[in-house]
Amino acid sequence: MKADTPLTLAAAKYVNRAHALEDWQAINDARRFGEFDHLAVAVLSKGSDGMLQVEPHDETAGHLPWVGAALLVIEASELLESGEVGLVVVAVNRTGSEVEPLLVNAEKLVVVETVAGDLDAVMEKELAKANAGV
């Protein structure tokens, strides 16, 4: 992937799993109908044991750790502090304005636009903010 390839990272919080699954389906439908290139999308929740569960998930960019990157960059775990359900999306060659309309059921939404070459720097910046409690 070229360093200037656009990436959109999104994390959304939902009141319930059904709403997250509806938006997960909307993202997957956009991919299936050719509107999106490569992407990764996953529904996140906390299990009864408090451990993070990731399912369902789907990614067309299997050679890169997209979901892991989204979890770090946009601090999706913070969206799940109270046991809510979340959705993370990493979309290649798409802008936030193209991703956001598909996440209509989100209670809270965080979107970061970057390029592939800056992904490491964005991750480091967001991790530093998280560690500082910002």
Domain-embedded: residue 93: yes
For residue 64, pLDDT over 80 is answered with no
The answer as to whether 25 is a domain residue is yes
What is the structure's pLDDT at 78? 65
Establish if 43 belongs to a structural domain: yes
pLDDT tens-place string over residues 5-61:
888 888 888 989 999 999 999 998 888 877 777 788 888 887 777 777 777 666 555
Instruction: Give residue 2's pLDDT.
Output: 82
Residues linked to residue 10 through DSSP beta bridges, in sequence order: 89, 111
**DSSP for 83-113?**
S-EEEEEEEET--HHHHGGG-TT-SEEEEEE
pLDDT at residue 120 greater than cutoff 50: yes
Tokens 């656009």 correspond to 6
φ, ψ for residue 48, nearest 5 deg: -60, -20
Element (H, E) at 8: strand 6-14
| 125: in domain | yes
Tokens, residue 37: 């290139």
When pLDDT is averaged across residues 116-124 and rounded to a whole number, the result is 73
Q: Which domain holds residue 72?
A: 6-132
**75-84, 85-94, 110-119: which has the highest mean pLDDT?**
85-94
Peptide bond into 101 cis (omega under 30): no
Mean pLDDT over 62-68 rounds to 51
Number of domains in the chain: 1
Domain for residue 115, yes or no? yes
Cβ neighbourhood burial of 23 (10 Å; 0-12, 13-18, 19+): buried
Task: Confirm whether 55 is domain-assigned.
Answer: yes
1 part of a folded domain:
no
Q: Give the least confident one: 20-29, 44-53, 73-82, 85-94.
A: 73-82
pLDDT reading at 88 higher than 80: yes
Range in 3-7, 60-64, 129-133 with the lowest mean pLDDT: 60-64
Residue 124: which residues within 8 A CB-CB, separation 6 or more? none
Per-residue model confidence (pLDDT) at position 104: 97
Q: For residue 51, tell me if it sits in a domain.
A: yes
CATH of the domain at 83: 3.40.1520.10
